[in-house]
Amino acid sequence: MCVRDRVAAEVVPVSQEQGKLFASVDALLEQAAAQEDLPDPAERKRLREAGGLSQDQIARALSVRRETVTSWEAGRTEPRPPKRAAYVRLLEGLAARHPAPASAPPATPAPAAPPPRSPRQQPAAPETPAPAPKTPAPAPKTHGSTRKPPSALPSAADPRFANGPLGVLDGDGQLYCADGLVLDCPATDVPQLVDWTLREAKLGAPRLHPFGKDSDPLIVLTAEAVELLGLPAALADRRGLRLPDDHPVVRTITRAKWKLTRRGFGPWARIYRPAHGGRRQCVQLAVLPWGALDPRSWQGADGLPPADLAATLALYARRVITPRGSTAVSGLETMSALRPPTRAVKDDESGAWVSAPMRGSLTEPVDPAPPEAPDEHPVAAALFPRGHRRTPAEALDEEACDWIRDPQLLTDAECARSHGVGIDINTAFLAAANRLVVGLGAPVHAVAPAFDPAVPGSWLVDLSGIELDPRLPSPFTPDGTRPTGPAWYATPTVAYARELVDTYRLPATIAPVEAWLRPESGPYLDPWYKRLSEAYKATMADLGVVTGMSDTDFLAAMDRHQQADPALAAVLSAIKATVKGGIGKLRERPQGASHIHGERWPALERPTWRPDIRAAVIATARVNMHRKVLKTALAGLRTPAPTGHLNLDDEALLPVAVLSDCAVYLADGPSPLDFLPRTPDGRPAPGSFRLGVSPGMVKHEGTQPMLTVVKMLDDGHNPARHIKGPDDV
């Protein structure tokens, strides 16, 4: 690291005199940077694209407009101090990670990317043969059923990870990697496989944040590879899902001086040695016949041929993260990878590099507030005996809505309609995470505080005085019933209550009795939202569903997108499962029957064990759904929206059921276009549901005959759960 970079990286408390000296040095550095030659404009663009950065990202980082960055890359203008020094540093860092190809001078622009391909398309033959590696280095091959993933996301340019993030090992010793590459793996046991992977395979992925960690290489084992390595075809321990400690393979790993994590050798096994020379020595294994890829998340991807599976998993790895376990685990790991808990700083006294908390991240484990803690948590167990059923005034209950309308409240006009049509919000929890401010530290208790919607936390407040139309679900309870007294709510729920009171002049007051607040806060989930939303939209585009489509074209594309390509459909399913699972992991409960009520469990030691953040996301998703339901209802009225109450007349368009992110309406036809309200010029009514592919917009979930929907209501079943078909779950 050069002197300028080291000085810029140091963030240490200094005296006033030192501050003046540092300011003088910074001025000299700016002057030096102003004299340095920048790379040619084409090389600036190449470095940005090689790093996977957009012009908008660079513009935000340097506090300039996107057009300014465009001008720099076109050579029309040059950056001036103090922006120039920061831009030079950025380009130097990118150049270190992404050196110019030897076959072309640095000033040559990168060639245009070919059109996107599906993971099931055959790869093009390489233009030049790879250099012959030293024995026993892997020998690249391109035979077999290799199919290349969409080239919009090329392999990592980092030479350490030249062969991609992962490989799928088959029984003949061939390792299928990204982009159709096949390597010969000489390993015949697990220690040899781990050693060869770290020394020869060149697998892995660069970190997602400058202060994060590179992704360890992942080796996926087929059933044939399991047999080759001496592993059992199935796990005998179906409860613990791990090999016994005395299994011959585990003993072989131990004798070779490798270690296993506390989870042991199971479907997802991490085998490692302590870091050496600042470099991690860790390989992750995913054992397919042991259920490593849950079909509920991956839609049977484990049945794909090895080459196709490698392309599918590599695409997920490039768009989200290299899988590190279930999609829920990967969702949580993506949060930490994008917002690392610590960063390296130089200690002023010793001169050594040490870890310091990362601003805006979850930096250390904190206990929840009593109402936020699940029953088995030590905080809750100390207050309530086991088996005690906590009331809404004792426990925070922010869950997704599961509500059906009383069939006696159906109007004659609704009963005359022919269909029940379900609409579903795209990645509702992901949309709820966008720009959501959450607590970063421990909760602070407050008595009778004034409500502040900018402060995340949990509030004890009575919202039973807010009366809504009985044909609408209450936004304050998971079952949609009206609250009966004081209850604990997350900040987004109380903020929506105030919004209703202020907007419609309802005769109610918002007066919290008590609160647990987190003054230290920030949009922790924003990078997570951005990465997963981009992954979701890019995969939908590969399946033929893009932004900007007309409503008719969008509905037609959605009808056929799941059949377009099974491998891409598996990636899409995994991305959606990553969102839901990642949010769920924020409140992971004890695993296994051995846990003793009131004792801590391993998940509590993670900074990312945060039930309050989970509650805030779910609360936001629920009130977002209710807001759209209400706006849709009001858009159907011929008279202005009421004030002083929210009892709507029979003209209002109201749902008959809501289940989390799905709402069911009765309509005169089978399509959402048969009931969604429009303005006189044909546009969606403001604030109502809008068809589209982006997170937060809606798609057609399914349609059933009106009589079928009404019968489900009469039987107490939620039609939203079965709107795709009677057997849908």
Residue 187 domain flag: yes
Q: Do 56 and 196 share a domain, yes or no?
A: no
CA distance 34 to 126: 42
> Is the same domain home to 84 and 220?
no
Confidence tier at 327 by pLDDT (50, 70, 90): very high
Phi and psi at 389, nearest 5°, equal -90, 110
* Residue 84 within any structural domain of the chain: yes
Residue 136 has pLDDT above 60, yes or no: no
**Model pLDDT for residues 688-709, shown as the tens digit of each residue:** 999 999 999 999 999 999 999 9
CB 698 within 8 A of CB 424: yes
CA distance 605 to 169: 34
Q: How far apart are the first and last CA of the chain?
A: 56
| Amino acid identity, position 282 | C
Q: Give the chain's length.
A: 729
Q: Quick one: 165 and 293 in the same domain?
A: yes
316 and 180 within one domain: yes
Query: Within a domain: residue 573?
Result: no
Q: Which of these three, 289, 305, 325, is where a domain ends?
A: 325
- φ and ψ of 339, to 5 deg: -135, 75
User: Is the same domain home to 88 and 182?
Assistant: no
Tell me the torsion sign for CA atoms 700, 701, 705, 707.
negative
- As a 3-state breakdown, the chain gives helix, strand, coil percent values, each rounded to 5, of 35, 15, 50
For residue 307, tell me if it sits in a domain: yes
Query: Does residue 111 sit in helix, strand or coil?
Result: coil
Cα distance between residue 322 and residue 164, in whole Å: 10
pLDDT, position 16: 57
What tens digit of pLDDT does each residue of 413-464 get? 999 999 999 999 999 999 999 999 999 999 999 999 999 999 999 999 999 9
Residue 169 structural domain:
159-325
Which of 325, 346, 361 is the C-terminal boundary of a domain? Answer: 325
Q: How many CA atoms lie within 13 A of 72 on its CB side?
A: 26
> Dmax over Cα atoms in the chain, in whole Å?
82
Poorest-pLDDT segment among 81-85, 494-498, 546-550? 81-85
Q: pLDDT at position 394, please? A: 98
Residue 129's pLDDT is 39
User: Do residue 167 and residue 82 come from a single domain?
Assistant: no
Lowest mean pLDDT among 23-27, 194-198, 445-449, 460-464: 23-27
Regarding whether 168 and 55 lie in a shared domain, the answer is: no
The CA distance from 485 to 498, in Å, is: 17
Which two structure tokens, joined as six digits, stand for 713? 């209501």
In this structure, are 319 and 170 located in the same domain?
Answer: yes
pLDDT at 20: 59
Q: Looking at the domain assignment, is residue 338 inside a domain?
A: no
Among residues 475, 709, 204, 330, which one has the least CA distance to residue 723? 709
**The dihedral sign for the CA sequence 7, 338, 612, 495:** positive
Q: Quick check: is 304 in a domain?
A: yes
Return d(Cα 268, Cα 298) in angstroms, integer: 15
Q: What is the pLDDT of residues 478-510, one digit of tens each?
A: 999 999 999 999 999 999 999 999 999 999 999
Q: What percent of the chain has pLDDT over 90?
A: 70
| Assigned domain for 56 exists | yes
**Structure-block tokens of residue 21:** 């000296």
Per-position b or e across 439-475, b if 16+ CB within 10 A of its CB: bbeebeeeeebebeeebbbbbbbbbeebebbebbbbb
- Which tokens hold the place of 619? 């609360």
Which helix (DSSP H) or strand (DSSP E) does residue 374 occupy? none
Give 297-316 pLDDT, tens digit per residue.
999 899 999 999 999 999 99
Same domain, 186 and 311: yes
Rounded-to-10 torsion of CA 274, 280, 281, 285: 120
In the chain, how many domains are there? 2
Q: Are residues 167 and 310 in the same domain?
A: yes
CB atoms within 10 A of CB 534: 13
Helix axes 551-564, 566-585, angle to 10 degrees: 100
Q: 209-231, pLDDT tens digit by residue?
A: 999 999 999 999 999 999 999 99
Q: Is 105 helix (H, G, I), strand (E, B) or coil?
A: coil
> What is the reported pLDDT for 244?
94
The residues, any chain, with a CB within 8 Å of residue 260's CB and separated by 6 or more, are 250, 253, 269, 270, 271
Confidence (pLDDT) at 26: 57
Give 27-82 as a DSSP string. HHHHHHHHHSPPPPHHHHHHHHHHTT--HHHHHHHHTS-HHHHHHHHHTS----TT
Task: Give the torsion through C-alpha atoms of 549, 551, 552, 555, to 10 deg.
Answer: 90
Residue 153 lies in a domain: no
Residue at which a domain ends, from 325, 346, 380: 325
At 325, is the pLDDT very low, low, confident or very high (cuts 50, 70, 90)? very high
Do 313 and 169 belong to one domain?
yes
Query: In CATH, what number is assigned to the domain containing residue 20?
Result: 1.10.260
Give the C-alpha separation, 414 to 714, whole Å.
15
Q: Residue 668 has what DSSP assignment?
A: S
Residues 702 and 640: beta-carbon distance below 8 Å = no
Strand ranges of the sheet holding 268-276, from the earlier edge strand across to the other edge:
182-184, 174-177, 166-169, 218-221, 279-287, 268-276, 259-260
Q: Kindly state the average pLDDT of the residues 594-619.
A: 96
Same domain for 173 and 282, yes or no, is: yes
